[in-house]
Amino acid sequence: MDQQVSSQPTNQVAQLIQESSNDILRALKLFMSDGNVIELRCPETKRGTKSGYFNNLNTAVKWATLLNGNVPFVYITINPVNPELLARAANRIKDYSKYTTGDNDIVRRRFFLIDLDAERPAGISSTNEEHEAALTKALLIRDFLKEEGWPEPGLFDSSNGAHLLFAIDLPNNEESKNLIEKCLKSIDALFSDDKNQKPRILVDQKVFNAARIVKLYGTWSQKGDSTPERPHRLSKILSLPEKLEIVSVDKLNSLAAMYVEPIREPKGYSGDDFNLETWIKEHNLQVYKTKSWKNATIYVLEQCPFDSSHGRDSRITKFNNGGISFGCFHNGCSGNDWYALRDLIEPGWKDRKENNDFQKNIQSNNLTNKKIKIPTGFTASQLMKTEFKDPLWVISGVLCEGLSILAGRPKLGKSWLCLNFAVAVAAGGKALGNISVDKAEVLYLALEDTPRRLKKRLAIVLQDTPAPEGFYIFNDWLKTDRGGLEQLNNWLLSHPKCKLVIIDTLAKIRKATNSINGIYQDDYAAIEGLKSIADKYGIAILLVHHLRKMTSEDPLEQISGSTGLTGAADALMILKRERGRADASLFITGRDVEETEKALEFDKVICTWCVLGDAEEYRMTEERREILEVLKNSKEIMTPKEISQILRKNVGAVRKLLITLEGEGLIKKVGYGKYFIGNSGDSSNSIHSGNSGNSSERVTELPQELPQELPHENAGSLERRGFSESVTRITAVTENDNFLAGCGPGDSWQ
Ligand SMILES: [Zn+2]
């Protein structure tokens, strides 16, 4: 016998237990109809968790009656269980059960549970007032759903709160789970009490799992000690129709569509001055029925604005907190939300609204400074005491956890770069030629590609090595506002070893838009959603973004200035064509990432980007080489202006470099600001240049492709070190020069 019995022994209770045996029988009949297998489970007993599986009604009744009152709780699975689990404990109760029913053990979803409870500290029973308030709320929700055309549910006293139970018939899969979860969110949004309300009755939003258990009706619930204020109670069947009619999927969808996500995605929230009633009148929408419920008013439309044949199946729901949703459960209307309705009824509303909001913001900034919240700051000593974690690199020095954007002009080789990252991570090999990376799974959404083209590319990159395991490729994915985020979330749930997700490109996954003003908002929403997924799973998401029009010379300025892409991203990479010894540069910057720029070379044989070193260093050596070459070819004394004209470069920058070169003894100065190559300047070694090609032609007309010159490896390491030092000096001069200040990296030479 368990200890709990001592807290519950009176004649009155014995009488009640007797009466409840009828409820136990009715409840078991309900859940075990059609030969369904159920689990009875009693946690927190003296003998651990007691559990058993039943398909024999009489035995189940016998055991439930025996357990009732002798254990704290008797629970039952509401949905039918895989019959094979009978073999764990068939039609009997086993002590110290290790295994209980999991979501995957459920064969079908047969019941939709709405669970109402008063907010209270854990581990205690409800007061009578709380108990009654929960039951009252259940009746209100039952009325609401009846109004929505739902059938009569079962109504139960769960001993501390109330249950409504509707019959459904859905497969046990992700889609059903999401649907039930959304339905509970809608009910919660419509009916849960405000924070200040006492007692505060809440709709439990977590009871959507397939293996959900409820207290077996007719059994005692013995939470904590029974006190007059918070007594133990018997759970009861309050009303149960002879047969529960099945709720259609349409009705479930309709309920699910009423929900408006309040914080993460402020979709469907209108400004304070938006008046839905006026809007409905102005646009001649016929309302069939209006009814106010606890937290919202529901407008049932006479016909669906998207398709008149949909009849009275569409609703606008206006929540008291400002949220508005629209939904119509017909297949053709899936995805038609409140924004879609406004797009349909009043095209261009978004642009007008943004303009108004902007005006309003300006006004409120001028008038009511009190309302502007001061951002979080810190003192210098606080800052010094703060320890910042190093970014967690997926590819050391290049790609860290969180959301990164890879931007650059089309056809520059961004996709090759992605493929290089993906193969390196999936194989645990080297990225960019020499950066060792840890092996992890990779998801590559190559949304601009076809399988055929990808295979060809992958074959080039892999050469003779086998394709790495754990490299998943999709050419198709839903847009972020149409379930793409959920797809990603679900995929990651089942691939815990994934560390890198590449999305090629942003335009292919964000909400389709034709409004110029809308792009920023849509980008931001998409990026924010992706970032929260990256943070949730501790992975890197790399988002590829084409810069179609180069409005600014500085791509960083372009993407942060015009589209605000960087707002939600953790890091930003810009791939840019380079003139000179490197083919391209990869500029990397971010919140916790030190700003770097790497010089890259494209290996045309294996179509792979390799890192050469610091981009600035490569650029400077190239610029030095060009100046020395001009002087060498001219064999005459030249002014900085003459050199800059040949090179088509900024004269000030050329002058600076000439001074440095002279300081290093590579060139000589004559009179006031004229230069020539002295005998001591053996340029053929120092400038890393070869003799191939016509050099004078090359310096006047800069090559578009990689110049034909000796690879950098041929340069002696000592000389290279020497160059690095001189480069550092030149850079310092450049940074202090007002004329060049404000130019992006490398732009001073273009
Ligand atoms: Zn419709």
What is the CA(336)–ligand 1 centre distance, in A? 8
Distance in angstroms (rounded) separating the CA atoms of residues 627 and 670: 16
727: pLDDT strictly greater than 70: no
708: pLDDT strictly greater than 60: no
C-alpha pair distances (Å), 176 with each of 109, 141, 358, 483? 8, 21, 41, 15
What is the CA(311)–ligand 1 centre distance, in A? 8
585: pLDDT strictly greater than 80: yes
Cα angle at 103 between 101 and 108, to 5 degrees? 100
DSSP output for 186-202: HHHHHHPPPTT-SS-EE
The tokens 């929900």 sit on which residue?
Answer: 259
C-alpha pair distances (Å), 55 with each of 28, 32, 167, 171, 536? 10, 7, 20, 21, 41
What is the CA(303)–ligand 1 centre distance, in A? 8
Nearest to 658 by CA among 627, 635, 702: 627
What is the CA(310)–ligand 1 centre distance, in A? 5
Domain 397-577 has CATH 3.40.50.300: yes
What is the CA(301)–ligand 1 centre distance, in A? 10
* CA torsion through residues 586, 518, 478, 487, sign: positive
Tally of CA atoms within 13 A in the half-sphere of 563 that contains its CB: 29
608: pLDDT strictly greater than 70: yes
What is the CA(376)–ligand 1 centre distance, in A? 46
What pLDDT does residue 703 have?
Answer: 29
Could you report the predicted ipTM of this complex, rounded to two decimals? Answer: 0.93
What is the CA(515)–ligand 1 centre distance, in A? 24
User: 211-250 pLDDT, tens per residue?
Assistant: 999 999 999 888 778 888 898 888 999 999 999 999 999 9
How large is the average pLDDT for residues 125-150?
A: 94
What pLDDT does residue 53 have?
Answer: 97
Q: 3-state class of 204 per DSSP?
A: coil
What is the CA(180)–ligand 1 centre distance, in A? 21
Three-state SS string over 132-145 comes to: HHHHHHHHHHHHHH
How large is the average pLDDT for residues 542-569?
A: 65
**Angle in degrees, 0-180, between the axes of helices 651-663 and 615-634, rounded to the nearest 10:** 80
**Beta carbons within 8 Å of 342's beta carbon, 6+ residues apart:** 349, 350
**Beta carbons within 8 Å of 8's beta carbon, 6+ residues apart:** 69, 220, 222, 226, 232
262: pLDDT strictly greater than 60: no
Distance in angstroms (rounded) separating the CA atoms of residues 478 and 486: 9
What is the CA(307)–ligand 1 centre distance, in A? 5
What is the CA(602)–ligand 1 centre distance, in A? 53
55: pLDDT strictly greater than 70: yes
Lowest mean pLDDT among 27-36, 168-177, 238-247, 266-275: 266-275
Q: In the predicted model, what is the mean pLDDT of the chain?
A: 79
What is the CA(489)–ligand 1 centre distance, in A? 28
User: 611-664 pLDDT, tens per residue?
Assistant: 887 777 667 777 888 888 888 888 778 888 888 888 888 888 888 888 888 877
Nearest to 199 by CA among 143, 135, 105, 140: 135
What is the CA(206)–ligand 1 centre distance, in A? 29
What is the CA(750)–ligand 1 centre distance, in A? 56
The beta-strand segments (E) located in 336-482 are 393-395, 399-400, 402-408, 430-431, 435-436, 441-446, 471-474
What is the CA(312)–ligand 1 centre distance, in A? 9
What is the CA(141)–ligand 1 centre distance, in A? 25
Confidence bin at 679 (pLDDT 50/70/90): low
Distance in angstroms (rounded) separating the CA atoms of residues 547 and 560: 12
CA-based end-to-end distance of the chain: 88
What is the CA(308)–ligand 1 centre distance, in A? 7
704: pLDDT strictly greater than 70: no
261: pLDDT strictly greater than 80: no
462: pLDDT strictly greater than 90: no
How large is the average pLDDT for residues 396-402?
A: 90
Q: What phi-psi label fits residue 673: left (phi over 0), alpha (psi between -120 and 50 degrees) or beta?
A: left
Range of 50-64, 358-372, 446-460, 606-620 with top mean pLDDT: 50-64
What is the CA(344)–ligand 1 centre distance, in A? 12
Lowest mean pLDDT among 252-261, 344-353, 705-714: 705-714
How large is the average pLDDT for residues 253-279?
A: 68
- 736 vs 303, higher pLDDT: 303
What is the CA(313)–ligand 1 centre distance, in A? 7
691: pLDDT strictly greater than 70: no
What is the CA(281)–ligand 1 centre distance, in A? 20
How large is the average pLDDT for residues 402-424?
A: 89
Confidence bin at 579 (pLDDT 50/70/90): low
Confidence bin at 590 (pLDDT 50/70/90): confident
User: 85-114 pLDDT, tens per residue?
Assistant: 999 999 999 999 999 999 999 999 999 999
What is the CA(319)–ligand 1 centre distance, in A? 21
What is the CA(296)–ligand 1 centre distance, in A? 21
Distance in angstroms (rounded) separating the CA atoms of residues 61 and 26: 10
What is the CA(638)–ligand 1 centre distance, in A? 78
Structure tokens at 566: 């960087």
What is the CA(349)–ligand 1 centre distance, in A? 21
What is the CA(334)–ligand 1 centre distance, in A? 8
Confidence bin at 364 (pLDDT 50/70/90): low
The rounded percent of the chain whose pLDDT value lies above 70 is 77
Structure tokens at 555: 């791509």
134: pLDDT strictly greater than 90: yes
What is the CA(580)–ligand 1 centre distance, in A? 60
H helix or E strand, kind and range, residue 543: strand 540-546
Distance in angstroms (rounded) separating the CA atoms of residues 594 and 596: 6
User: 475-524 pLDDT, tens per residue?
Assistant: 989 888 888 898 999 899 889 899 999 999 888 888 766 555 445 666 77
Q: Please say whether the beta carbons of 450 and 457 come within 8 A.
A: no
Confidence bin at 340 (pLDDT 50/70/90): confident
What is the CA(205)–ligand 1 centre distance, in A? 27
The DSSP symbol for 551 reads -
**Angle in degrees, 0-180, between the axes of helices 717-736 and 651-663, rounded to the nearest 10:** 130
Confidence bin at 699 (pLDDT 50/70/90): very low
Cα angle at 400 between 550 and 461, to 5 degrees? 75
702: pLDDT strictly greater than 50: no
How large is the average pLDDT for residues 19-48?
A: 91
The rounded percent of the chain whose pLDDT value lies above 90 is 37
What is the CA(339)–ligand 1 centre distance, in A? 14
Confidence bin at 351 (pLDDT 50/70/90): confident
What is the CA(207)–ligand 1 centre distance, in A? 29
Nearest to 712 by CA among 583, 630, 618: 618
CATH number of 3-246: 3.90.920
What is the CA(268)–ligand 1 centre distance, in A? 18
What is the CA(534)–ligand 1 centre distance, in A? 35
Lowest mean pLDDT among 461-470, 615-624, 645-654, 693-702: 693-702
What is the CA(510)–ligand 1 centre distance, in A? 24
CA 355 to chain centre: 28
User: 271-315 pLDDT, tens per residue?
Assistant: 456 788 888 998 899 999 998 988 899 999 999 999 988 888 899
The DSSP symbol for 637 reads -
What is the CA(285)–ligand 1 centre distance, in A? 14
What is the CA(151)–ligand 1 centre distance, in A? 22
What is the CA(250)–ligand 1 centre distance, in A? 12
